[in-house]
Amino acid sequence: MTVLHETVDVSRPVNEAFAYVSDFTTTAEWDPTVLHASQSTPGAIAVGTEFKVVCALPVGSIDLQYRVVELTANKRIVLHGRSRFFNVHDTISFAPSARGTKIDYRAEFFFTPFVRALGSPSRSALQKMGRESVAGLAEALADDFPLALKNKHRAEKLLPELSLFTRLGYRLAAKRYHPMSASVAGSHMLITGASSGLGYVTARELARRGAELTLIMRDGQKAQRTVAALERETGSSKIRWELADLSLMSEVEALVERLNKRGQAIDVLINNAGALFNTKEETAEGLERSFALLLLSPYRLTEGLKPLLRKAAAPRVINVVSGGMYSQKLQVDLLTDETRERYSGSIAYARQKRALMVLTQQWAKDWAAEGIAVNAMHPGWADTPGVQRALPAFRRCTRRVLRSADEGADTIVWLAVATEAGRASGKLFLDREAKSTHLLKKTRESAAERRKLLAFLSHFPDLSA
Ligand SMILES: NC(=O)c1ccc[n+]([C@@H]2O[C@H](COP(=O)([O-])OP(=O)(O)OC[C@H]3O[C@@H](n4cnc5c(N)ncnc54)[C@H](OP(=O)(O)O)[C@@H]3O)[C@@H](O)[C@H]2O)c1
């Protein structure tokens, strides 16, 4: 048996340090030897929870299957890991210290006879590895990372940027990611469109981190199934749902009224619900569907929930836009385009997303004094039920390079959780990096057009009257 023993003192409360470390998927953020880590069993972390951790070897990699064998909240967690070449027993203890938390990490390695016959790794090599891991953990818990802002000296060009929408773009960017150890336990977050795709993954990741969620969905049975699945996957018992068809302003207004009546502060509002409509249709209220769902709805919802955002300590609004907006200029008269004979679902969609981006920048400016951060993100191209339904030919051609829903949703989660993300407002993000909002000169709108958008939305008739 070879024993490694390290201690570290971090300036974080014990409950936060414990919550971060006991979720062993975070090893991928702080342990330099870990390539990938995932939870293999559903539910909250408890005795019996299993994690799959893939570690780098000098040549290739090795899979470790960890199992939690002992867990005393905020005090101690013991995990046993098994692999082809060795087993390892990790005992991690937490104690309050003057700085915050003292973490004591002990790892006992048991090499297989095969490895012992070949010559087990030297004790000094293992000790170096242990020191690096614990240093990585201390850095993760210090949670002091820079915000990746747009490089002013590097013009973003259309084709290279488009290539970053693929899963390759995600994987390149992910190499530069920082750990995300901020605690959102007890924060209240509202997510629209959580029944599938990016919204579902976002809800799952935020629930895993202990956030209290209100999910907005439009179909009662689907909502029940979604919440049951999220509870099973995450073990959370803090997920509520509200019903609203967000393409109907009467339902948006009723939702706003219900939530304001409930009065619970909203720390994070995620405007995610959306769809690309290939045929031009009007809602029962007589609005073109893309305009209603993708622009007027998030406008009314966010404006209506502002009193609840104001109640939170450091509120964040996250608008999910689309890279499609890069093709369109803001033209307010075309947003409700009644006159065009040939409708294009992709163009209608991209125009609303462009307008939502402009609105994001405007809100960020107008609400800065009240401390409300407003950002947009686009997920690249992610393989979700929405894409499968609306863009089957695009999906057939790009299937091999599409991101997973997890990869697409990653930046939504980061904007909701990361400490450094809270320092941004009025920005567009892809893969946790601020991006230019225009890739073509011809799409730049004038200040007058921006003002026109705000006047148009604020004076749009009240359809619920
Ligand atoms: N996937 C991508 O590559 C991609 C790229 C750029 C932008 N986006 C944006 O990302 C967001 C999420 O899309 P996704 O790809 O995850 O699509 P998705 O799988 O179809 O999810 C869309 C979500 O929005 C909900 N929704 C749609 N219409 C609604 C309505 N009238 N009222 C209430 N909820 C409604 C859906 O509910 P139901 O389950 O009831 O239909 C679903 O929960 C959208 O804003 C989309 O424009 C996605």
Cα–chain center distance at 377: 10
Of the residues 142, 171, 192, which one is the last residue of a structural domain? 142
Cα–chain center distance at 454: 28
CA 258 – ligand 1 centroid, Å: 23
Q: What value does the mean pLDDT take over residues 233-238?
A: 97
Edge-to-edge strands, sheet with 101-111: 2-10, 101-111, 86-96, 76-82, 61-72, 50-56, 34-39
**What confidence tens digit (pLDDT) does each residue in 106-121 have?**
999 998 888 778 776 7
Residues 206 and 355 in one domain: yes
Residues 253 and 285 in one domain: yes
Cα–chain center distance at 25: 15
Backbone angles phi, psi at 127, to 5 degrees: -65, -40
Question: Could you write out the DSSP letters of every residue in 180-215?
Answer: -----TT-EEEEES-SSHHHHHHHHHHHHTT-EEEE
Q: Nearest residue CA, atom 18 of ligand 1?
A: 386
| pLDDT, position 350 | 97
- Give the CATH number for residue 165: 3.40.50.720
Query: Domain containing 123: what range?
Result: 2-142
pLDDT surpassing 80 at residue 424: yes
Residues 272 and 420 in one domain: yes
Of the residues 142, 173, 201, which one is the last residue of a structural domain? 142
pLDDT bin (cut points 50, 70, 90) of residue 338 is low
Whether 463 is covered by a domain: the verdict is: no
Q: Reduced to 3 states, what is the DSSP secondary structure of residue 427?
A: coil
Q: Is 364 in the pocket of ligand 1 (CB under 6 A)?
A: no
| pLDDT, position 59 | 86
| pLDDT, position 121 | 73
| pLDDT, position 464 | 61
Mean pLDDT of all residues belonging to the chain: 95
> Cα separation of 78 and 180, whole Å?
23
User: What residues contact residue 179 under an 8 Å CB cut-off, 6+ apart?
Assistant: 26, 29, 30, 136, 139, 140, 143, 145
| pLDDT, position 341 | 63
pLDDT bin (cut points 50, 70, 90) of residue 465 is low
Cα–chain center distance at 423: 16
pLDDT surpassing 90 at residue 93: yes
Of the residues 142, 176, 198, which one is the last residue of a structural domain? 142
Return the half-sphere exposure (C-beta side, CA atoms, 13 A cut-off) of residue 326.
20
pLDDT bin (cut points 50, 70, 90) of residue 183 is very high
| Mean pLDDT lowest among 56-60, 191-195, 243-247, 461-465 | 461-465
Whether 76 is covered by a domain: the verdict is: yes
| pLDDT, position 303 | 98
pLDDT surpassing 90 at residue 223: yes
User: What residues contact residue 60 under an 8 Å CB cut-off, 6+ apart?
Assistant: none
Whether 308 is covered by a domain: the verdict is: yes
Whether 117 is covered by a domain: the verdict is: yes
Percent of the chain whose pLDDT exceeds 90: 88
Q: Which atom of ligand 1 is nearest to the CA of 293?
A: 31
* Cβ-contact 27, 37 below 8 angstroms: yes
Q: At what angle do helices 197-208 and 405-417 cross, to 10 degrees?
A: 50
**What confidence tens digit (pLDDT) does each residue in 16-37 have?**
999 999 999 999 999 999 999 9
Residues 173 and 133 in one domain: no
Whether 6 is covered by a domain: the verdict is: yes
Percent of the chain whose pLDDT exceeds 70: 98
User: Which one of 295, 384, 395, 404 would you pick to mutate in the ligand 1 pocket, going by the greatest count of ligand atoms within 8 A of its CB?
Assistant: 384
Backbone angles phi, psi at 450, to 5 degrees: -65, -45
Q: What value does the mean pLDDT take over residues 312-337?
A: 95
Q: Is 281 in the pocket of ligand 1 (CB under 6 A)?
A: no
| pLDDT, position 116 | 78
User: What residues contact residue 237 under an 8 Å CB cut-off, 6+ apart?
Assistant: 231
Residues 207 and 300 in one domain: yes
Strand partners, 269: 190, 317
| pLDDT, position 152 | 67
Ramachandran area for residue 426 (φ above 0: left; ψ -120 to 50: alpha; else beta): left
pLDDT bin (cut points 50, 70, 90) of residue 150 is confident
Question: Tokens 């893969």 map to which residue?
Answer: 431
Q: Report the first-to-last Cα separation within the chain, whole angstroms.
A: 75
| pLDDT, position 114 | 82
Whether 148 is covered by a domain: the verdict is: no
Whether 149 is covered by a domain: the verdict is: no
Q: Nearest residue CA, atom 7 of ligand 1?
A: 322
User: Which one of 272, 282, 404 would you pick to mutate in the ligand 1 pocket, going by the greatest count of ligand atoms within 8 A of its CB?
Assistant: 272
Alpha helices by DSSP H, 263-296? 289-291
pTM of this structure: 0.96
Q: Nearest residue CA, atom 20 of ligand 1?
A: 386
Residues 282 and 409 in one domain: yes
| pLDDT, position 295 | 98
pLDDT surpassing 70 at residue 207: yes
Task: Count the domains in the chain.
Answer: 2
Q: Reduced to 3 states, what is the DSSP secondary structure of residue 77?
A: strand
Q: Nearest residue CA, atom 2 of ligand 1?
A: 382
| pLDDT, position 417 | 98
CA 375 – ligand 1 centroid, Å: 18
> Cα separation of 363 and 366, whole Å?
5
Cα–chain center distance at 443: 28
> Cα separation of 409 and 378, whole Å?
9
Q: What value does the mean pLDDT take over residues 42-64?
A: 95
Question: Could you write out the DSSP letters of every residue in 110-163?
Answer: EE-HHHHHH-PPPHHHHHHHHHHHHHHHHHHHHT----B---TTS---HHHHHH
Whether 150 is covered by a domain: the verdict is: no
Q: Reduced to 3 states, what is the DSSP secondary structure of residue 83?
A: coil
| pLDDT, position 123 | 78
| pLDDT, position 340 | 60
**What confidence tens digit (pLDDT) does each residue in 240-286 have?**
999 999 999 999 999 999 999 999 999 999 999 999 999 999 999 99
